[in-house]
Amino acid sequence: MVEALGNFAIVWLDPWLLFLTAAGTMAGIYIGAIPGLSVTMATSILISFTFKWPVNDALALIAGVFMGGVYGGSRTAILLNIPGAPSAIATAIEGYPMARRGEAGEAIGLTTVMSVFGGFIGILALALFAPVISDFAILFQSRDYLLLGLIGILLVGTLSGESFAKGAFAGALGVLIGMVGLDPMTAEGRFTFDTITLMGGIPYVAAMIGFFGVAEALVQLHNLGLPVVKQKIDRIIPRLSDVKKHFWLAMRSSGIGTVIGALPGTGGDIAALLAYDHAKRSTKNPEVPFGEGAKEGLVAPEAANNAAVGGAFIPMLTLGIPGDAVTAVIIGALFIHGLKPGPLLLVETPHLFWFVVGSLTLANVFLLIFGLTGIKVFTKIVECPRAILLPLIIVLSAVGTYAIQNNPVDIYWMLLFGVVGYFMKVYGFQVGPVILGVILGPMMDANYRRAMLGARGDVGTFLWDFVSHPISLVLSLAFVAMLLSQTPLWRLVTSRRHGPAT
Amino acid sequence: MSTQPGRKPGELVFALLCCGFGVVAFWQAFGISGFGGLTTPGVFPMLATGTMVVAGLFIIVGAARRGSERSGEGTMSRFMREVLPLRHCIMIALMLAYLVLLPQLGFVVASALFLFATFQYLWRRNPLLTLLLAGLSLGAIYVVFRIVFQVVLPQGTILGWTI
């Protein structure tokens, strides 16, 4: 316990780590706020620059960027009606009407306090539940990891995309990219076409930066000339009565955020929308109707999306399954630093776990400070035209990809993935499942083969194992339910139950 | 985005390409170890690429069912307007040129050229102002990444002396 506290406090006492967390949070707020820059994009580029650093330094910076970035999207949502990130879509619905009434300062203040509140709940859940889940996860067998990987990829594909087939395709494409190179078990080449370049595999940082950085920049190229609206800022510190009044809503929303964040594959964007929906249903008599600047509609999504940050770390650190796209990138960072996220992480490197908790908490404190200050300067900076932003993203992406292995081939991969990712985005594919596939593919392959070897290559025994062990049974049922819910049969049943569709 | 009335121009072609890519990849995966056993290196790649083929078929059916939007405009001109406008083609070409030149000219020269060209193309202001902006932003990137983060930047084979 004392040791845990010590590791928790490292980041609070070391001036350099304090600075990195502060800088990360500050940068995160701007990255999250500037439309066209996403936290996932920033983290993937950041990893390529920090992989030579000590792991603590890198994690402190990334924790700051993550926390700040999830919050930052709300600022532009309120001031400009452009959600800086998908997790701020609901915030824009209520925040922008407030800004139009001249209450932008108040909206930002309330958003900040509630984001920080949600953030703390998420971190608390991480600190309390991760060790419990980790103990439980030691009981997981290879087949359970295979199922978790499949569920994770499918969840991202179904919950955030427009079509199940597109999600499944994207996930499988990611697995394929992850398979390229020498097979870790038998050293046979897979998809290498007998070329040396492909034997080492396709670097997943190149895939990440391509799909999240370059592809997004190309998508943003469509909206070069969006108009800029000026805002005046007055009151920023929220009224205590407002905070008190919305306390329980914030509490419930944080709960929703933590759980959604902890589900493999779903992150802050879905958490925010669900919490917004919850606020809409549970608030009987809002002072201002929803859609016209209801404070409840600001509190719920903002508390939820920051709570999802702590939640997303739970499966990533305990099971090695990322909770959302950003943690999928962070898990890549941990691999680069030679760590193995999974049930043994808390046993083998408990200091790392408590360090993560500590730096997230610290980032949350900085969020409160930076969130309530510097808003005037902020409005000037987010007005930076995209015509300038986009070329800079490309340069940063290229340098970031190159920095990993100093290999020019990697940047061609990046461009290829960027262009493919652009077309995928245009035609309604999600790129999140691709990255999850790249990260989880090799893990699922190894676990599948281990499970099959355990069953001595007998398909009957292999399948029986999936239903004869309690943990596997629960996961198998979840997996089957997910598959069934995508079939026409399921839709028929639910529409019967709810009456004919209108 | 979820209630799209018609399919986007080129969507069906893209779906066919996806499925076709899946078939080729499956054939490659089959080539790894065939159907020899259940724990061979080729099994999981075959599962993944098989999923791609099946999902690809569903995507084709979905795209075909939605039907294209009927308008006076031809599919090709809509494709050029909505999916791949000239601006995108030029940007991708500039990016390709940048990535090809990067290892040869080195980071500083190649990035300076790329930033100047793209700023000028997208922003369309006075070239002097663009030059100044390109110089300033490149300087900032250089200081942050080369000096603070100590990242190794491409040096360039032709102009090796330009750091």
pLDDT for the residue A265: 63
CB–CB contact B145 A49 (8 Å): yes
In this structure, are residues A12 and A362 in contact, taking their beta carbons and an 8 Å threshold?
yes
ipTM for the complex?
Answer: 0.90
**pLDDT(B91) > 90:** yes
CB-nearest to A188 from B14, B41, B123 is B41
- Calculate ∠ Cα A148-A165-B73, nearest 5°: 150
Distances (CA, A) of A300 to A35, A117, A149: 22, 11, 30
For residue range A211-264, what is the model confidence (pLDDT) as tens digits?
Answer: 878 888 898 888 776 555 555 566 677 788 888 888 899 999 999 899 888 876
Chain A positions touching B22 (Cβ under 8 A) are 169, 172
CB atoms within 10 A of CB A285: 5
pLDDT for the residue A84: 67
Chain A positions touching B54 (Cβ under 8 A) are 168
Chain A positions touching B87 (Cβ under 8 A) are 221, 224
Task: Provide the shortest C-alpha distance from residue A427 to chain B (in Å).
Answer: 6
**pLDDT(A121) > 90:** yes
For A153, the token pair is 């990829």
Q: What is the residue type of A246?
A: H
Question: Which of A185, A388, A422, A462 has the most B C-beta neighbours within 10 Å, making it the best mutation to test the interface with B?
Answer: A388
Q: Which long-range contacts (CB under 8 A, 24 or more apart) does A236-240 make?
A: A236/A105, A236/A106, A236/A108, A236/A109, A236/A372, A236/A375, A237/A109, A237/A372, A238/A106, A238/A109, A238/A110, A238/A112, A238/A113, A239/A106
CB–CB contact B123 A385 (8 Å): yes
CB–CB contact B151 A49 (8 Å): yes
Share of chain A above pLDDT 70, in %: 91
CB–CB contact A163 B59 (8 Å): yes
Which helix (H) or strand (E) covers residue A182, if one does?
A: strand A181-182
State which residue of chain A sits closest to B125, comparing Cα positions.
A387
**pLDDT(A159) > 70:** no
Task: Provide the shortest C-alpha distance from residue B51 to chain A (in Å).
Answer: 6
Least confident stretch, A176-190, A305-319, A323-337: A323-337
CB–CB contact A403 B91 (8 Å): no
In this structure, are residues A315 and A322 in contact, taking their beta carbons and an 8 Å threshold?
yes
B140: Cβ contacts below 8 Å, ≥ 6 apart: none
Select, from the ranges A273-277, A350-354, B46-50, the one with the highest average predicted confidence (pLDDT). Answer: B46-50
Question: Which of A392, A416, A422, A434 has the most B C-beta neighbours within 10 Å, making it the best mutation to test the interface with B?
Answer: A392
Mean pLDDT of chain A: 83
CB atoms within 10 A of CB A95: 32
pLDDT for the residue B5: 56
Mean pLDDT on A71-96:
78
Share of chain B above pLDDT 70, in %: 88
**pLDDT(A120) > 90:** yes
For residue range B58-78, what is the model confidence (pLDDT) as tens digits?
Answer: 999 988 888 766 666 677 888
Q: What is the residue type of A354?
A: W
Q: How far is CA A173 from the centre of its chain?
A: 20
Q: A326-350 burial string, b = 16+ CB within 10 Å, else e?
A: bbbbbbbbbebbebebbbebbeebe
Distances (CA, A) of B119 to A20, A316, A401, A497, B88: 31, 40, 22, 57, 14
Mean pLDDT on A463-475:
88
Task: Provide the shortest C-alpha distance from residue A110 to chain B (in Å).
Answer: 30
- Calculate ∠ Cα A437-A438-A443, nearest 5°: 80
CB–CB contact A175 B48 (8 Å): yes
CB-nearest to A179 from B15, B48, B137 is B48
**pLDDT(A132) > 80:** yes
How far is B45 from B52, CA to CA, in rounded Å?
10
Chain B positions touching A404 (Cβ under 8 A) are none
Angle between helices A350-371 and A55-80 (to 10 degrees): 30
CB-nearest to A190 from B14, B41, B154 is B41
Chain A positions touching B58 (Cβ under 8 A) are 163-165
For residue range A145-157, what is the model confidence (pLDDT) as tens digits?
Answer: 888 888 877 776 6
Task: Provide the shortest C-alpha distance from residue B98 to chain A (in Å).
Answer: 9
pLDDT bucket at A501, cuts 50 / 70 / 90: very low
Chain A positions touching B62 (Cβ under 8 A) are 163, 165
CB–CB contact A395 B32 (8 Å): no
Please give the interface size between A and B, counted as residue pairs whose CB atoms are below 8 Å apart: 169
Mean pLDDT on B126-141:
90
Angle between helices B86-105 and B107-123 (to 10 degrees): 160
pTM of the predicted structure, to 2 decimals: 0.79
pLDDT for the residue B22: 94
pLDDT for the residue A375: 75
In this structure, are residues A295 and A167 in contact, taking their beta carbons and an 8 Å threshold?
no
Q: What is the residue type of B23?
A: V
Largest CA distance in chain B: 66
Chain B positions touching A19 (Cβ under 8 A) are none
**pLDDT(B153) > 80:** no
DSSP 3-state assignment of B138? helix
State which residue of chain A sits closest to B117, comparing Cα positions.
A391
Task: Provide the shortest C-alpha distance from residue B76 to chain A (in Å).
Answer: 16
Helices (H), A202-324: 204-208, 215-220, 240-245, 247-262, 268-282, 296-319
How far is A316 from A323, CA to CA, in rounded Å?
6
Burial class (CB in 10 A: 0-12, 13-18, 19+), B65: exposed
CB–CB contact B88 A221 (8 Å): yes
How far is A200 from A154, CA to CA, in rounded Å?
27
CB–CB contact B48 A218 (8 Å): no
**pLDDT(A383) > 70:** no
